[in-house]
A and B are shown apart, each in its own frame.
Chain A
């Protein structure tokens, strides 16, 4: 699939990236104004990874996500108003407003859920892959996680199980250079996190995570491998988060210059430039993608804001089964 030369795909990729960006900007603004509950983690700057990766998936495929998961949800086709409602603690949210940013799951689109536990999605992805295999299906499971996850025990266990049982899982590491304030260079001895794949006897590649085409190509190959029954792969997509780790991050562990240099490699600007250069889309078509994203996000906020607030009165119905017969 050529994201840059095919007009329809380019439009879709660009609109997805803008939607993620706009959604998170809106969320950032809502939090700044004191209108959002809980904390959240923004993936602004990393939009090319979920966008490129999910374009290699089709209906019936699964993903597992992370604490920084808005982009994964959107790229996998979640409804923006239900996401926004979840973040605004509304009854119409994906988890009826009870989970917030870090607990959005959407089984309808195969999104097995964001996860507040670093590497928490990795064993879940292995489990989903096992289910697919036992049922004799041809779906793929894509597991997103950060660079911090690769040093968790759960990550090792999940990847190893997927490897020894040839499960149809694609492990996508969003290496944004830091786990909270811990630089990836201080946390791992290997040069590329993809080198870890060797330990599990599976293929591993490192790609430019700010280029949706590169991400897509690597994921596409891995998905085909998975569907063919040849087992999992590890893809490391190198990218950068522009915003703090979460709220109340003073950026004491990195310099303004470093942040600025990555802002200059904005994946969206780069993609727009490439698409214009190839004359796939015109300036006004680019603007139309931007407007579509903005309008979709605004409509989501409007719908979500008008919905009833989640109520604490019957929280237990989400804990015990059989409450209402």
Chain B
């Protein structure tokens, strides 16, 4: 019988750390392989952790609310089962990336730095990468690139003879005989968004994730355009106002593909899917599950999907896939009679839409004063992705859609 580590498992391709939520087993409990021993949360989704081994839970080393990097022990299990990886990952490897993991002897004195998985630290942009991409921005056929690399020729200095100014193999080889002009590769630009510091181990309460996201948002040059939308003639078909406005907003985003996008750190990336995250207030805090292509279903169907999604969010039944792929987030504080508010962007999304209260308002009309059903919405934009007029046009389209269906 030996103590073997149960590690904070990586449960999605992007997970780097998890927060312990609750233990379902206590020290001394018998465990079968496949039993759920605890739950951890990542990106606010609770996931069950199954034991990979049969044995007895010997020691628990991570308590609820502890944040543990992927791959570090959260408990030790006394087991007769083979540890398949025992001793395998300590030796030299290609890049040392697999040289982590616990050694399996259960010693708690493992140097945490040693068992930090390489994937947990963001890769800094190296000068090499940027030189490569500088080469990449010159049009050249692939084999010309290969030859340029082999011959030590700077592509930027080659005179292209191919169509549309494309460098051909012969151009590179012709240049190779001549002395290379002294062109220095441009210095590496600083990354647009500062790389987040490596996560520190420790307790992180439920506000921590929102704090991280919104602090990152505060670095984004963003602005909000407001508009009163007239809803007198909007088709409702029994749907909630959130559904009606989300439907119109998604239609408008599809009409302005430049805004259905995310900012990738150095460029705009348009998305094929119109992914609209919905800010839901739950007992465990704010969470934003994503509706995919809500404009492609009818309003009554969207209304149903929306209720179902909000229900699952409140019951803690969302999966990680529910949180992926949004270009925008819709928040509605209208039910609290809030007239209007400024929603911050959730990086890397390009926009956010805030919905105020829907209700009758006294407004000037052609022949005097009238009462109209209206809602004040605010569209926040990442200024790197779009300008004020882009936002204004999108809201104008929303208004048209709401008037004419």
Contact = CB atoms under 8 A, between A and B. Distances in A.
A324 B150 CA distance: 11
Contacts of B145: 316
A33 B13 contact: no
A248 interface: yes
A294 B82 CA distance: 9
B84 A298 contact: yes
Contact of B143 (A28, A88, A322): A322
B100 A294 contact: no
Contacts of B48: 250-251
User: How extensive is the interface on chain A, given as a class?
Assistant: 35 or more
Contact of A320 (B13, B47, B71, B142): B142
A17 to B, nearest CB: 16
A301 B85 contact: yes
A34 B92 contact: no
B52 interface: yes
Interface in B51-77: 52, 69-71
A147 B120 CA distance: 36
Interface stretch (B3-11, B177-185, B351-359, B380-388): B3-11
Given A33-B100, A298-B88, A39 B94 contact: no
A319 to B, nearest CB: 7
Contacts of B34: 242, 259-260, 263
B68 to A, nearest CB: 11
Given A30-B85, A32-B7, A305 B319 contact: no
A28 B88 contact: no
Contacts of A298: 84, 88
B279 interface: no
A28 B317 CA distance: 24
B12 A248 contact: yes
B10 A247 contact: yes
B38 interface: no
B101 interface: yes
A302 B88 CA distance: 6
B317 A29 contact: no
Interface string A286-325: 0000000010011001100111110000101101101110
A34 B91 contact: no
Contacts of B7: 32-33
A76 to B, nearest CB: 22
A39 B13 contact: yes
A31 interface: yes
A33 B101 contact: yes
A189 interface: no
B85 A29 contact: yes
A301 B88 contact: yes
Contacts of B36: 256
A110 to B, nearest CB: 28
A231 B319 CA distance: 44
B216 interface: no
Given A26-B85, A250-B48, A263-B34, A35 B94 contact: no
Contacts of A259: 34
B119 interface: yes
A216 interface: no
A88 B95 CA distance: 11
A252 interface: yes
B32 to A, nearest CB: 8
Q: Closest 7 A-B residue pairs measured CB to CB?
A: A32-B9, A34-B117, A33-B71, A34-B70, A248-B12, A309-B94, A248-B320
Given A309-B95, A319-B142, A320-B142, 7 more contacts: A26-B85, A32-B10, A33-B10, A39-B13, A256-B36, A263-B34, A309-B97
